[in-house]
């Protein structure tokens, strides 16, 4: 496994674009609030996903700092797997709870926002962890 996968501090996407890509999901989350308010979407759906998303980002940050101190590759991979499952469950439970406790529209709006956040987060991670092309390649 490469050091890019195991050690978040070895990211290659530097500079301004790397910083923007790394936090694009949080920008989307902030932009989604006025969209929810203006469009009249259920605010409880936004609040549930915002809480779940911020919690999973806290887990991601904590695990990223722990991976650098992991004693071996197995420990690092175990941390990655556990954090992935925990983060997935945080978002899934937030969508499920808002859909069951509020209404279907709130659950649907929460699920759509979560899908958009996951997509932007994956794209940002791909941009910051992918090495820049070499000058001889297209």
Q: Interior CA angle at 85 toward 82 and 88, to 5°?
A: 145
Residue 43: partners with Cβ closer than 8 Å, 6 or more residues away: 36, 37
Smallest CA-to-CA distance from 12 within 137, 138, 134 is with 134
Find the mean pLDDT for residues 95-122.
95
Say if residue 111's pLDDT is above 80.
yes
Q: What is the pTM assigned to this prediction? A: 0.80
The 3-class secondary structure across the chain, one letter per residue, is CCHHHHCHHHCCCCHHHHHHHHCHHHHHHHHHHHHHHHHCCCHHHHHHHHHHHHHHHHHHHHHHHHHCCCCCHHHHHHHHHHHHHHHHHHHHHHHHHHHHHCCHHHHHHHHHHHHHHHHHHHHHHHHHHCCCCCCCCC
d(CA 105, CA 6): 39
Over residues 33-89, the pLDDT tens digits come to 999 999 999 999 999 999 999 999 999 899 988 888 888 888 888 888 999 999 999
* In the chain, % of residues over pLDDT 70: 85
């Amino acid at each position: 496994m490469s050091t890019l996968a195991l050690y978040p501090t070895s990211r290659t996407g530097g500079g301004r674009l790397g910083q923007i890509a790394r936090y694009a999901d949080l920008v989307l989350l902030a932009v989604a609030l006025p969209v929810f308010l203006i469009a009249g979407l259920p605010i409880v759906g936004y609040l549930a996903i915002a809480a779940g998303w911020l919690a999973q980002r806290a887990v991601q940050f904590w695990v990223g700092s722990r991976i650098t101190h992991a004693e071996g590759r197995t420990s690092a991979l175990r941390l990655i797997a556990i954090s992935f499952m925990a983060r997935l469950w945080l978002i899934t439970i937030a969508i499920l709870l808002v859909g069951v406790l509020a209404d279907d529209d709130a659950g649907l709006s929460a699920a759509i926002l979560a899908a958009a956040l996951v997509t932007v987060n994956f794209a940002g991670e791909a941009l910051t962890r992918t090495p820049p092309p070499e000058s001889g390649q297209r």
